[in-house]
Amino acid sequence: MGDKLDEQTSEQNVYDDVFKSLISKCPQLLIPVINEVFKTDYTMQDQVIELREEQHFTDINQKRQKQIVDSYIQIRENRYHLECQSWPDRTMIFRMMNYDFQAALENRETLERGHVKIKYPESVVFYLRHGHQTPDQMTVEIEFPKGEKIDLTIPCVKVDRYGEDEIIQKNLLFFTPFYIMRYENQLAQIENDPILSEKLYREYEKLTQTIVQKEASGEMPLGYIGQIEEFNNLIINHVAKNHDTLRRELVQMGGSILRTRTDDLIDLGVAQGIDRGVDQERLRNIQKYMEKKMISFDEAYDYLKDTFDFPESQRESYRQKLADIKEAPKPKANKKTIKAMRR
């Protein structure tokens, strides 16, 4: 029993790492997912702000405690708490209550003396696997002393239910690295059946081609391809570790398609830079990576040089051009924007 629990804990860490890294490195992929779950209307131009994932609080014994959520983000004025689970967990509803209450306390607003407003975030649990008893939503009924009742409802998204057509139709490419888990219990059969294995290869090919097309058309930010390939391979290698033939074929196929797109970008001068002006396009990408990843000019340039063949000989030239852009007058940010950035 102990060994099985350790194995599940270790496995959960793998999925947690991919889930968190995917949000950190490809945040815009979350926007269609949030729209799918909460029926919102965000666009790919909306900014996804990562908020602090550590929560510190004092327990009933007056001891300071710390808990870490998988992801806590903000889009426009709305906050979202996201959790990833590889296995159904009966304690999840209590953990979500605790996380969200602490988040609400941190997001409190004092209206006047003795009158405080707390705002709960929207919450969701992504189940990478599900069973017959995994609910579509979790509900906490809170009853107050005078009999008032409030239901807090948390949706449960069963990721392995999404086929490639639905992922593509709804632009849920965030789920792509976890796609292999849809077939986790059938891998031995698929590996030994040419028809089934060919079907799985074609599904992965369709997903990968969609990712390539999205980036080529500008619907997905430049650079996401390499990150998605990395996360795809991590999950495939983990889930299909006992199925070498299938595992190697999936990894090689996806990598080949994505690397071809990278070569195309280089030939085109990075995302059609020749048509728009190579210098302007390169400057835009340097600036975007610096702002999005909060990294230095040299870190951004090193990444773009390795990935998209930015010339080392022009590093200092681009550094100066970017400095000139930054010295140009900028419109003042309003108080609401400054407050959101500080969070």
The phi-psi region of residue 309 (left if phi > 0; otherwise alpha if psi is between -120 and 50; otherwise beta) is: left
| pLDDT value at residue 39 | 96
Q: What is the pLDDT of residue 128?
A: 92
Q: Is the pLDDT of residue 329 over 70?
A: no
* pLDDT at position 330 over 70: no
Percent of the chain topping pLDDT 90: 30
The pLDDT assigned to 177 comes to 93
> What pLDDT score does 5 carry?
45
Q: What percent of the chain is modeled with pLDDT above 70?
A: 78
pLDDT: which is higher, 168 or 133: 168
For residue 186, the model assigns a pLDDT of 93
Largest CA distance in the chain: 73
pLDDT at residue 130 greater than cutoff 50: yes
Q: How many CB atoms lie within 10 A of CB 280?
A: 11
C-alpha to C-alpha distance for 165 and 162, rounded to whole angstroms: 8
Report pLDDT digits (tens) over 206-242.
998 899 888 878 888 877 888 888 898 899 999 999 9
Q: What is the pLDDT of residue 167?
A: 96
Pick the residue with more confidence: 241 or 12? Answer: 241
Choose from 88-102, 164-178, 217-231, 242-256 the range with maximum mean pLDDT.
164-178
Question: pLDDT digit string (tens) for 108-119?
Answer: 878 788 888 888
Question: Can you give the pLDDT at residue 254?
Answer: 64
Q: Which of 208, 218, 340 is nearest to 276 (CA)?
A: 218
Work out the average pLDDT over 171-190: 94
Count CB-CB contacts under 10 A for residue 294: 9
Alpha carbon of residue 69 to chain centroid:
14
Percent helix, strand, coil in the chain, to 5, is 60, 15, 25
Tell whether the model's pLDDT for residue 2 goes beyond 70.
no
What do you get for the CA distance between the two ends of the chain, in Å? 42
Band the pLDDT of 293: cuts 50, 70, 90.
confident
Q: Is the per-residue pLDDT at 133 higher than 60?
A: yes
Position 328 confidence tier, pLDDT thresholds 50, 70, 90: low
Residue bearing the bigger pLDDT, 203 or 309: 203
> Who wins on pLDDT, 92 or 53?
92
DSSP character string of 166-189: HHHHTT-GGGGGGGGGGGGGGHHH
d(CA 300, CA 285): 9
pTM of this prediction?
Answer: 0.69
Residue 75 pLDDT > 80: yes
Q: What are the pLDDT digits (tens) for 24-65?
A: 889 999 999 999 999 999 999 899 998 876 554 444 455 555
Distance between CA 253 and CA 130 in Å, rounded?
28
Tokens of 125: 């649990």
Query: Residues 143-170: what's their mean pLDDT?
Result: 92
Whether 108 and 121 have beta carbons less than 8 Å apart is answered as: no
Q: How high does pLDDT run on average in the chain?
A: 80
Separation of alpha carbons 16 and 14, rounded Å: 6
